[in-house]
Amino acid sequence: MTPRQRRFLGAFAVLAGVATAAAVLLSAVSENLLFFYTPSQVAAGEVPADRTVRVGGLVVSGSIERNPDSLAVRFQVTDMARVVPVSYEGILPDLFREGQGIIAQGRIDANGVFQATEVLAKHDENYMPPEVAATLAMKGEGPLAPVHPDARPADARPTGAQP
């Protein structure tokens, strides 16, 4: 084998290795990529049925139905425009309640019910997931931005401060 052929074979092997690594990386990323949808997008049929996605919004008041014999729970999520039914079997977060902002991860079934595999509730009374806050702000509902509990107006002075 001539030196030119060896260089060509080496370059080809490196190129094949890089291409294989890129293909494996892209495959792993695409399988683990979760898209966020609003209840309006789910109701409009924009969510692919064969894909795991996240749906976020507020839990509709009076919609929580618990099965006393199991951990199954049914509730509805809204973005103030549309409502999506959600079914979940498992232990809900302590902060889960009516009117609370949540994000549910799962798939849409043939009946249009979101079958959640995970439910995340907002952290405290002042926090809302950024995706949910942005959606509600576009609808003219909810807080315009997350507020930190220690935040105060820019012109506020600490107690005892001199003017």
pLDDT in tens, 130-149: 777 777 777 766 554 444 44
C-alpha 144 chain-centroid distance:
19
Distance CA 84, CA 43 (A): 7
Average pLDDT in the chain:
81
Cα(84)–Cα(36) distance, integer angstroms: 14
Domain parsing of the chain, residue ranges: 1-33, 34-139
Angle at CA of residue 99, ends 139 and 93, nearest 5° = 120
What confidence score (pLDDT) does residue 160 get?
47
Average pLDDT, integer, range 49-61: 89
pLDDT tens-digit series, residues 90-112: 999 988 989 888 999 999 998 88
**Per-residue pLDDT, 142:** 57
Rg (CA), the chain: 24
**DSSP-assigned letter for residue 143:** -
State mean pLDDT over 39-56.
87
CB 23 within 8 A of CB 40: no
According to DSSP, the residues that pair with 28 across neighbouring strands are none
- The CA distance from 147 to 130, in Å, is 11
Q: In the Cβ-directed half-sphere of 73, how many Cα atoms lie within 13 Å?
A: 22
pLDDT of 31 over the 80 cut: no
| 33, pLDDT greater than 50 | yes
Give residue 62's identity as a one-letter amino acid code: G
Question: Domain 34-139 maps to which CATH number in 1.20.1250.20, 2.40.50.140, 1.20.1090.10, 3.30.540.10?
Answer: 2.40.50.140
